[in-house]
Amino acid sequence: MENKSCHVIVLTYPAQGHINPLLQFAKLLASRGLKTTFATTYYTVNSIDAPNVHVEPISDGFDEGGFKQASSVEAYLESFKAVGSRTLAQLINKFDASDSPVRCIVYDSLLPWALEVAKEFGIYAATFLTNSASLCSLYWHIVNGLFTLPVNPEIESLSLPGLPVLAFHELPSFLAYPTSHSAYLAVVMEKFYRLTENDWVFCNSFEELESELVKAMKGLWPVKMIGPMVPSAYLDQQIEGDTAYGANLWEPTTDQCLKWLETKPSGSVLYVSFGSMASVSDEQVQEIAWGLKASNRPFMWVLKGSENKLPGEFMDSIGETGLVVTWCNQLQVLAHKAVGCFVTHCGWNSILEALSLGVPMVCVAQGTDQPTNAKFVEDIWKVGVRAKRNEEGILTRKELYGCIRQVMEGESSRQVRGNTNKWTELAKKAVSRGGSSDRNISEFLAKVMERNKA
C-alpha cells in the first residue's frame, strides 16, 4: 500500500541508458510502499510506462526535441541546469501543497545541480551512479590527488587501489582524451568533488562483482551498491510481472524477434547490439556483416539506420539465418534460450544484463566507460573476450569471427559459460531478500521513513 506521506522523486538524465536503471529503482521503491515520482524531460515523458510509479515532466529548455535541439553539449547541459533546477523546484512545491510532500530526491549523477535543489528544500539527496564503482573510483582518485589529468599516453600502466592495472587504452575516454569530452567531464568531476555532500551515493552494481574495490575503498568513500537494476522477473522476482524497464525511446520489434528466436536451436544465436548511442561507420558495418556471415551461425543484429549501411549482397545471402532490426527489447532477447553470445559495445547496463541472464560476451568497446568495462569482462570476471581493432580503428571480419569462435566453441567456451553462470547466481543473491544490495536499499528506506515519522 502506497505511503503518500513518504514521497521520493527519482530524477533521470533523458537517455535510454540512464532512464532504464533509474526507472527500475523507482519501481523498486514503489513496490516497497513509497510514493514514487519519476521525473524526466518533456521530450521523453511519454515514453515512460511503469505501473505504480507516478511520472512527471520537468524541462531541459528543449521541450520539442531534447538534446537534438541544442546547439552543443555545453548549451544543452547549461540549459538543463538552469531550467531543470527551476522546474524541479516547481514540481516539489506542487507536492508540498498536497498530502504527499517530497522527502528525498534520488538524482542521476549527470545532474549534480539537483543536490542544490534538495538543499534548498531541506530534503534528503541521493545521487545515483550509472557506471561501475570501479570506473567511478578513477574520478574519486583524481579528486583525492592520486593522479592528475591529462594522463600521459606514453604511460605503460596505471595502478590504483582496488583496481587491476590499467593500460592507457583501457581508460575511459573521458580520462584518456579529456579535451574531447570537456563539457561532460566537467559535470562528472563536479559530482565527485561534491560526492560527500549527499546523504546517499548509490551505484548500479553489487559488492560481490567488485569485491576488490569494495575492500580497498571501505571507509574512504560513501558509495553503496544497490544493483543490478534489472527488471525483477529476471533476478529476484520480488515485483510481480516486472519483465521490462518500462521505457522505450525507440519502437521495439519484440514480437518479430521472439518469433524468429523460437526457430533457432538452444544457445546458437549471436545477438549483436551496440546500444542506443553508438554510431557505427559504414565500413565497420560491412566488416561486422561479413564477420557474422563467416561465423556460419544464426544472428540477430540491432542496427539503427541499417537500410543505408548494409551491403545488398549480404542481405540477399543471409535468408533466415540472420535478422536485422532497428530496436528490440534486449532483456527478452538475452533471456531467450536460443541466444548463446552477446556481441556488445560494453555499455554498463548491457554488461549487467548479460551477467544477470548468463550470456557470454564479445566486447567491441567504442568509448566513454566501455574500454574499462571490457577489461573487466575479459580479465577480471572472465565472461567474454575483447575484440581488437586494426590500425585504422576498424574491427575486421577476421577478428570478429575469431572472437566468436573463442566464446562459442571448445574449452574456452565452457570456461566462459561457467564463469557467467557463477556471476548470474551472485547477482540474484545480491538483490534477493537479505542480499548485499537489498540490505543497502532497506537501510535507505528505513532512514527515509524514519525522517518522515520525525
Residues annotated catalytic, as ranges: 18, 108
28-49 as b/e: b if 16+ CB within 10 A = bbbbbebbbbbbbbbbbbebbe
Please choose, from the candidates 176, 195, 69, 53, the residue with its C-alpha nearest in 3D space to the C-alpha of residue 129. 195
Residue 320 makes CB contacts below 8 A (sequence gap 6+) with: 260, 263
Please choose, from the candidates 130, 132, 175, 127, the residue with its C-alpha nearest in 3D space to the C-alpha of residue 150. 175
Q: Which amino acid is at 308?
A: N
What cell numbers appear for 280 in the block? 557505427
What cell numbers appear for 405 in the block? 569462435
Please choose, from the candidates 271, 270, 290, the residue with its C-alpha nearest in 3D space to the C-alpha of residue 399. 290
H/E element holding 274? none
**Dihedral (CA of 83, 102, 116, 29) sign:** negative
Classify 349 as helix, strand or coil: helix
| N- to C-terminal Cα separation, the chain | 21
Which residue's C-alpha cell is 542496427? 303
- Report the alpha-carbon distance of residue 398 to residue 254 in Å, rounded: 30
- Report the alpha-carbon distance of residue 326 to residue 346 in Å, rounded: 19
Extended beta strands in 217-360, E state: 223-225, 269-273, 299-302, 322-325, 339-344
Instruction: Please tell me what DSSP assigns to residue 307.
Output: G
- Report the alpha-carbon distance of residue 441 to residue 454 in Å, rounded: 20
Classify 100 as helix, strand or coil: coil
Length of the chain: 454
Please choose, from the candidates 310, 324, 314, the residue with its C-alpha nearest in 3D space to the C-alpha of residue 256. 324
